[in-house]
Amino acid sequence: MDLLLEPMFRVPFLTGLMLAALVPVVGVLARLRDEWLAALGFAHLAGAGGALGSALALPVLPAALGLAMLGVAARALWRRQGNDLYALMILAGWATMMLVAAVSRHASTLGQMLVDGQLYFVRGPHLVAAAILLVVSVPLMPLLMRLLLRLTLLPHQDQANGVPVQSSLLLFNALLATSVALSAVTLGVMTAFALLYLPAWVAFGLARSWRATWLLAAGLGVVAYLIAFVLALLVDLPFGPVMVATLCVLGCARFTPGR
């Protein structure tokens, strides 16, 4: 346990903790929109961007976020709701990662880190990015929640009242892509998907109110993160698979009798 007090682990711990609290709440909104596959879509684009950045000797984090933003632009042009576009992002991102890794040793190493999760190797820029994302998201989330709830329950109300919603949807997609991309680079591609999908899935099945849904999702994300962080460190295992396994175990709560 003394390892947890080491200064070298403070930045990774705080970075992951902020993402573990935020991403599940974003996942609640993605599930509300029935676009939960966006997590894998943007995560694979971020991974492809990171691989390209590594191969071209560019900073990995900006490259990953930049390619994820291209996905947001594509989503803005694709007005149909659903997961079809995200499936294309997954395939394109995966193919790009594999091809770049095949011709670049640095990209190949980074690709493996994106699979395993490189949390213990993150540095100050990741912490700063996570902090900025959290500070920006806190005031935005209540506004986006009300908008997306209204669009889901009363889809024609804003249109009938002449209220523009595309700018708000673009903002949500940008928040979603940024959260997933930063999580993919920091925690791992599959970890980012599990963190966005599983807590929201459990919360939708167990919570009895909208507020309880996003509180439960955030709580599950934080609890899973704390368990996985300590366990992976003490047992010397890759963080990403440990985090996903922990989320899967906690996700079994979804099968509570009567639910």
CATH number of 106's domain: 1.10.3470.10
Confidence grade of residue 44 (pLDDT, cut at 50, 70, 90): confident
Mean of pLDDT values over 10-30: 91
pLDDT number for residue 217: 94
pLDDT number for residue 228: 92
Task: State how far the alpha carbon of 94 is from the alpha carbons of 44, 97, 101, 161, in Å.
Answer: 6, 5, 11, 42
Mean of pLDDT values over 140-158: 75
Are the beta carbons of 60 and 185 closer than 8 angstroms?
yes
Whether the CA torsion 138, 140, 146, 150 is positive or negative: it is: negative
The enclosing H or E element of 103 equals helix 84-103
Q: How many domains does the chain have?
A: 1
Mean of pLDDT values over 100-123: 74
Confidence grade of residue 19 (pLDDT, cut at 50, 70, 90): very high
Query: Per residue in 172-206, pLDDT tens?
Result: 888 999 998 898 888 888 899 999 999 999 998 88
Mean pLDDT for the chain overall: 83
- Please give the residue range of the domain that contains residue 141: 2-255
222: which residues sit within 8 A by CB, 6+ positions away?
17, 20, 21
pTM of the model: 0.84
Query: Per residue in 88-107, pLDDT tens?
Result: 889 998 898 888 878 877 76
